Structure 1
């Protein structure tokens, strides 16, 4: 029997066309779904929407719903799903008929064909767009929260109480580069630049090297070379290879650095 309204149905859903576009309206209290056209609630809209001269496919397109959206109450959808599954399991003929489709699904062919159909090239439904936006927003919130936790942990490890204090100490006082400041405080380089501007901390011009900055770059290059050859200390590794008879050219090729760079660390002339 149709229900004119019920608990959980927003007043805006009644008597107006296109309410809640892109979302199936449910009355959880009565386990029914609400017609977007007339605002009446039913266990299933499949038969009802014929009075509005619409098919199920036309209804979904009209109101921005997923093409696979069941137009029925949750309990009815679950019951129908169980019935179909039981029928499938009881029929060898049905299972054989669906075997080709299952094989295509396993191989990925079914997905490829799906994306190549004309129907797939139609604009996405509003419901799908909303679901994608919600997923993207949730992912961004998770990333932001994780980044904040990494920065907070880095600040605690360095003994800082707030981010501005940390930036002034590491970048301005200790004269670390923006890259090293970002690494020490677990922040991206672009956010470091933005935060320096927000806190009124002058950004050093490109090419202006401090002694600390030069030392930091030397250490960074040394770490990269050590990681490349799997060594703990690149200088020790270079001296050991030199003692074994390796040439400067061979060591330069192994570390990915220049011959003068290798010579400076081995004491060769």
Structure 2
């Protein structure tokens, strides 16, 4: 017969006022008092059979008698009372918990504790466990980010990253400066500072799209795309086509650059005058007062937009725009 045949490892078997001894299989009101017969002390017994330190090794009646005895001693004995008060204060302050954690560090959990943990985990759904793991991971990241920002004199990690990025630093360089892994910010910035991550990604996109402009603008004496566009389009009233011709880029690139930098494309007077002159020329060629009258006449005659465009020598989009069908 093995020792585990008397009682399962990691559990205490109670029978009301009695407790089963793992060593001999007999029942006792107090296994603690019985251990002397086996020449074993309490800590060794608990370690041997995987029992927690607070697992009761006495029957209910014996525990109740001991508690009553302690209450009487506490009331009559100043030394016992002082010890009890000190223990309660340590428990309230958390010092007792910290001391227990230090004592347990590096020590294998007893079987009884592991069984409790497994039962508790089994009662928790996988979704809840995963959510808790994610929350703990997020809290660790947030604490690390807050510590780094405070060490470098910033209120939060977003302010730190924004300041350094505007100074031309990369995320890898900022991570190294903060004493983190070089990829830490690349991996976790969207988690700890999502607004900053979005702003930086947007800025990176703008810089990437502006890159083809920079060599041309440097020759023209401009440092940035917005500066050039304000000068040419808003200041000198250059058209999108004229800017495209000067820079060697497409008109689409010019329009998207204006939008990207918050500049509204303007239809300048010269361009508007050119459109009016072209419309007047079409109307005059076919004997009408204006192009609207010409288009109305041709549509009434059953001509398609394609046929009208071919007749007047303009594109279909130009014809439809003059008719107000395209803006």
TM (normalized to structure 1)?
0.42
Q: Which one has a bigger Cα radius of gyration?
A: 2
Bigger relative CO (Cα 8 Å, ≥ 6 apart) = 1
TM (normalized to structure 2)?
0.35
Higher helix share: 2
